[in-house]
């Protein structure tokens, strides 16, 4: 009997020792992981690209599709055509449309998608006069760029958006075209350092069931080129959106221009200022991106108004929603 008790006690000590060893190994692995393997390591990012059962469960019109990515790397220029904006970290990837290992967004289903870009950049040489980034959706050459323009040596936050209609498996990729009008063009290369930027996007709705303000360029209030007008809410002759049905609407205004500017860009309806962006008086290029959400009754109108001095040239005006 005493031998049995000794054996039982020895086994108990053995199990306790093994358990302590396992806990110690686990703590060590967690500590090493915290130091060397961040939550957004490359292997984990690549695995997001792999198809699995979750992709098959994506319903046609109910499950959300949205992503948010960030990057911090410099964006060097070695040629006239700039480099692709390739996100480094996928913060959110619902619906698995974004492919981190290649930097593309691949549409999981047909529909209208809204993409947004915002970043912090600055120039190095003082000889650079005008710079810009064209945010163009690759595969949609008929749709106009979101041009980000600046001519400052101090840091500046820039933003743009694109509202596009995509088919399943269509690919979206953003390019940055950087250029300058400095005396010696080669001296102007490598002038952009992209310190921080974020690219995000989401599926808005099925093209058959959404009412859209068209995606188009124009000169000031003269929005005559209409790319997309599902629901026929936009009246190109009056450059006004008229709500076909009552509901909640989201509008965007993006414009890039240069010259002597001093005034304000507005998104308005008849009795209310919905959003405004002001710019001071200076002899430089300017880019602005503003948005507004408003409840509209059927028949209510929304339009863009420019107030102030405009002694210059409008490079791009885009009104969408």
Most confident of 46-50, 196-200, 245-249, 253-257: 245-249
Instruction: Check: CB of residue 69 under 8 Å from CB of residue 49.
Output: no
**What confidence tens digit (pLDDT) does each residue in 22-58 have?**
545 444 433 333 333 333 344 433 444 444 444 444 4
The DSSP annotation for 218-241 comes to -BTTB----S--TTS-EETTTTEE
Buried b (16+ CB within 10 A) or exposed e, 59-69: eeeeeebbbbb
The values of phi and psi at residue 4, to 5°, are -65, -45
Query: Which among 316, 212, 203 is positioned nearest to 258, based on CA atoms?
Result: 316
What pLDDT is stored for residue 111 in this prediction? 82
Q: How far is CA 233 from CA 112, 182, 230, 262, 293, in A?
A: 16, 44, 7, 31, 16
Local structure of residue 182 (DSSP, 8 states): -
Q: How far is CA 223 from CA 93, 237, 249, 319, in A?
A: 35, 8, 19, 8
Determine the Cα–Cα distance for residues 223 and 216; give it in Å rounded to an integer: 7
**What confidence tens digit (pLDDT) does each residue in 260-310 have?**
555 667 788 876 777 766 665 555 556 677 777 888 888 888 888 776 655
CATH class of 50-320: mainly beta
Instruction: Check: CB of residue 239 under 8 Å from CB of residue 304.
Output: yes
Asked whether the whole model's pTM tops 0.75, one would answer: no
């Amino acid at each position: 009997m005493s031998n049995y008790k000794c054996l039982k006690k020895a086994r108990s000590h053995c199990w306790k020792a093994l358990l302590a060893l396992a806990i110690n190994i686990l703590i060590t692995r967690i500590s090493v992981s915290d130091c060397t393997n961040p939550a957004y390591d490359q292997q984990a990012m690549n695995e997001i690209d792999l198809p699995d059962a979750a992709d098959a469960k994506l319903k046609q019109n109910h499950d959300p599709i949205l992503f948010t990515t960030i990057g911090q790397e410099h964006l060097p220029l070695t040629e006239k055509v700039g480099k692709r904006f390739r996100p480094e970290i996928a913060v959110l990837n619902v619906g698995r449309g974004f492919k981190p290992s290649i930097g593309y967004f691949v549409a999981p289903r047909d529909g209208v998608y809204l993409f947004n870009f915002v970043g912090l950049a600055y120039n190095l040489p003082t000889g650079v006069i005008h710079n810009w980034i064209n945010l163009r959706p690759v595969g949609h050459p008929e749709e106009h760029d979101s041009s980000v323009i600046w001519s400052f040596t101090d840091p500046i936050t820039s933003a743009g958006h694109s509202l596009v209609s995509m088919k399943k498996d269509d690919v979206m990729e953003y390019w940055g075209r950087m250029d300058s009008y400095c005396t010696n063009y080669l001296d102007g290369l490598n002038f952009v350092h992209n310190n921080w930027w974020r690219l995000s996007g989401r599926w808005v709705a099925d093209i058959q069931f959404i009412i859209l303000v068209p995606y188009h360029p124009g000169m000031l209030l003269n929005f005559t080129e209409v790319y997309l007008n599902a629901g026929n809410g936009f009246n190109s002759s009056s450059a006004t959106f008229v709500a076909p049905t009552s509901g909640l609407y989201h509008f965007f205004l993006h414009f890039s221009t240069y010259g002597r500017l001093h005034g304000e860009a507005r998104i308005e309806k008849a009795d209310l200022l919905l959003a405004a962006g002001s710019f001071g008086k200076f002899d430089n290029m300017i880019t602005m991106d503003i948005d507004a959400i408003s409840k509209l009754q059927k028949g209510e109108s929304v339009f863009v108004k420019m107030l102030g001095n405009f002694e210059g040239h409008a490079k791009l005006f885009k009104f969408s929603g």
